Amino acid sequence: MSFNEAFKAIADPNRRKILSLLKKGDLTAGEIAEHFDMQKPSVSHHLKILKQADLVEDRRVGQHIYYSLNTTVFQDLMSWFYDILQKEGDES
């Protein structure tokens, strides 16, 4: 996982909304697209970026691909933030 890719991915409000939707459970691209006023290829593009950053995983079930959060990456990001905050607190 690259922190740069993760930060780039979450910088976009549409991708943050996708992550919020997936927090509630696994969804297909079509189900995700229902929550946006954009074409399905645009949603697929956002999902691709989230997958490249390892923030989202996909799995095929029959003809459908379900997307889910990769919580391990979020834990790594939170750990990194915590370490930064701890180091600042230790220096004062």
- pLDDT tens readout for residues 52-72: 999 999 999 999 999 999 988
Total count of domains within the chain? 1
Which is more confidently placed, 36 or 83? 36
Give domain status of residue 88, yes or no. no
**Predicted confidence (pLDDT) at residue 92 exceeds the cutoff of 60:** no
Strand order in the sheet with 64-69: 27-28, 64-69, 56-61
Give domain status of residue 77, yes or no. yes
Give me the CATH number covering residue 11.
Answer: 1.10.10.10
Contact present, 78 and 6 (Cβ < 8 Å):
no
> Phi-psi bin for 78: left (phi > 0), alpha (psi -120 to 50), beta?
alpha
Give domain status of residue 28, yes or no. yes
- By percentage, how much of the chain surpasses pLDDT 90? 65
Per-residue pLDDT of 41-54, as tens digits, reads 999 999 999 999 99
Estimate the crossing angle of helix 40-52 against helix 3-10, to 10 degrees: 150
Q: What domain range includes position 64?
A: 2-83
**Predicted confidence (pLDDT) at residue 91 exceeds the cutoff of 60:** no
Query: What is the CA angle 67-35-48, rounded to 5?
Result: 40
Which is more confidently placed, 58 or 89? 58
